Chain A
Amino acid sequence: MLELKNISYVVEDEKEIIKDVSLSISEGFIAITGPNGGGKSTLAKIIAGIIKPTSGQILFDGQDITDMSVTDRAKLGISYAFQTPVKFKGITVKDLLSLAAGKNTTVAESCNILSEVGLCARDYINREVNASLSGGELKRIEIAMIIARSTKLSIFDEPEAGIDLWSFNSLIKVFEKMHEKINGSILIISHQERILNIADQIIVISEGKVKQTGTKEEVWPDLMAEGTCSVLAQKVG
């Protein structure tokens, strides 16, 4: 489905943020984990086309998308829920859901999507997506947009941030339901064991490189033993 071949990303001062990453992502749940600053978000932005890699190639369903714009990749079926949601002025939740769905979503449709992410639709549908919303609310609206799009590849960047324990189960349900519907890949960047638990494949990114990839059983012991991610250990402990 998605293939990264020798992707590198170098910024000024020759700092290499992504170092020769090659990955093959199949259908199903894929979790990306690893320490903060390891390059996870950078990799997600490279897949979405927001960042152009310095070298390497990206294939999506066999098609070379390396030089394709953000818009064209979105149209091909790549969605990306940002780690830090963007705020607007005057644009409402319903506006964003309509843009995401590529059509004027009805109130009923918007309500269904919002309740999936645990927001009471009536209170939110006409709210502006601005700083008056809390971090957790913005994060859920970010996820709702990806649901509205329902594309073949959906990337979620730390979706659990700002989401409380109750909605955590619902979040996993969102992913499971989406998986049923799209029959594609759901790529989740996360530190949460419960998300790693549902993954068919876990990729550990550290210092810009793929440190390990495998099933939970294969990856977990090493993650714990090496304490690669203290955040992870804390949350589990």
Chain B
Amino acid sequence: MDTISKNLLAEIADIHEIPEGAYNIRANGKLQSRNTTANIDIVTKTDKPGIDIIIAPGTKNESVHIPVIISESGLTDLVYNDFFIGEGADVVIVAGCGIHNCGDQESGHDGIHTFHVGKNAKVKYIEKHYGEADGSGGNIMNPTTIVEMDEDSYLEMETTQIKGIDSTNRVTKGRLADRATFIVKEKIMTHGTQYASTDFDVQLDGVDSSTNVISRSVARGKSKQKFLAAISGNNKCAGHSECDAILMDDAIVTAIPQLTAANVDASLVHEAAIGKIAGEQLIKLMTLGLTEEEAEEEIVNGFLK
């Protein structure tokens, strides 16, 4: 593997050497390397690009890494990844896409990830999007995540996109059965003329199902962000969404809550706060000897940590 690919892997998946456990590394639209374990199988799809990740029921304390890296300019990669998480499994899944675009053509990755989470299964899904560019070509990512959750299952999705991606349109859809829990923690930073749109649609179908969608973002320069959180309470359930954005320079942030309650025992809440860095936070750090710019940097980094 070349240095650029190694750097991308380190950025998106914290992978420095070959990861432990199951993994599937995709580079420039092709399988680069793969490892399966006794409990986790990875199979290439035959009808379309992508893989099936099959996790046996009861699998505990195992992880799967499926990073995608693109270092060729002008390549647009589309993959379908399906995760079948067996009943009672408890696993960590690390996905991520890194683009290094050194040319002047657009590079892109559109991943469609579908999770079938079995009864009582527990999943932590970490996804990181990262882009670098030496040339003038744009980096584009449009990830779609579809989550189907069976009874008593739990999925926590942590998604991060810090700089580097010029345009992103993220779609996340969830459907929850009885007592299932779906947590999303999203972190986004845009700068320049970047555009990031995230669109959540969670259907709380099951009794006592719950979701918490939390987005923290920083918009700088002339970048634009749109956050849409649609939660439907179709049963006795609890839904909460939160958009907390720091606005800088000439950026624009739009937060759109959309709560639909179709059951009197559905409890749905949305919170949104968009604003500049609090002046008193800057002043406090300046009294510790930081310049205004350094203070701003600390506040932003802390906020997205």
- C-alpha spacing A48/B283, complex, angstroms: 10
Within 262-304 of B, Cβ neighbours of A (below 8 Å) are at 278, 280-281, 283-292, 298-299, 301-304
Query: Is B305 in the interface zone, CB < 8 Å from A?
Result: yes
Partner of B288, one of A50, A69, A92, A149: A149
B304 cross-chain contacts in A, Cβ below 8 A: 90
Partner of B303, one of A70, A82, A89: A89
Closest Cβ of chain B to A113, distance in Å, is: 14
- C-alpha spacing A86/B244, complex, angstroms: 18
Partner of A90, one of B278, B284, B288, B303: B303
B302–A95 contact, CB under 8 A? yes
Partner of B284, one of A69, A75, A82, A149: A82
A99–B302 contact, CB under 8 A? no
The verdict on A100 contacting B288 (CB below 8 Å), with A89-B302, A91-B298, A95-B298 known, is: yes
Closest Cβ of chain B to A85, distance in Å, is: 8
Q: How large is the interface on A (under 10, 10 to 19, 20 to 34, 35 or more residues)?
A: 20 to 34
**What is the count of residue pairs linking A and B with beta-carbon distances less than 8 angstroms?**
56
Partner of A74, one of B287, B292, B301: B287
B286–A86 contact, CB under 8 A? no
- C-alpha spacing A178/B301, complex, angstroms: 31
A71–B290 contact, CB under 8 A? yes
A71–B292 contact, CB under 8 A? yes
- C-alpha spacing A100/B290, complex, angstroms: 9
A91–B289 contact, CB under 8 A? no
A70–B298 contact, CB under 8 A? no
Partner of B298, one of A69, A86, A99: A99
A102 cross-chain contacts in B, Cβ below 8 A: 288-289
Query: Is A206 in the interface zone, CB < 8 Å from B?
Result: no
Partner of A71, one of B280, B289, B299: B289
B289–A88 contact, CB under 8 A? no
- C-alpha spacing A36/B16, complex, angstroms: 59
Closest Cβ of chain A to B141, distance in Å, is: 24
What 0/1 readout, one digit per residue, does chain A (24-68) give for beta carbons within 8 Å of chain B? 000000000000000000000000101000000000000000000
Query: Is A145 in the interface zone, CB < 8 Å from B?
Result: yes
What 0/1 readout, one digit per residue, does chain B (137-173) give for beta carbons within 8 Å of chain A? 0000000000000000000000000000000000000
Closest Cβ of chain B to A53, distance in Å, is: 16
B286 cross-chain contacts in A, Cβ below 8 A: 69-71, 74
- C-alpha spacing A95/B281, complex, angstroms: 14
A75 cross-chain contacts in B, Cβ below 8 A: 289
B285 cross-chain contacts in A, Cβ below 8 A: 99
What 0/1 readout, one digit per residue, does chain A (86-112) give for beta carbons within 8 Å of chain B? 101111100110011010000000000
The verdict on A86 contacting B292 (CB below 8 Å), with A70-B286, A70-B287, A80-B287 known, is: no
Sort A-B residue pairs by CB-CB distance and give the 8 closest, nearest first: A91-B302, A90-B302, A74-B289, A86-B284, A70-B286, A90-B305, A90-B303, A86-B280
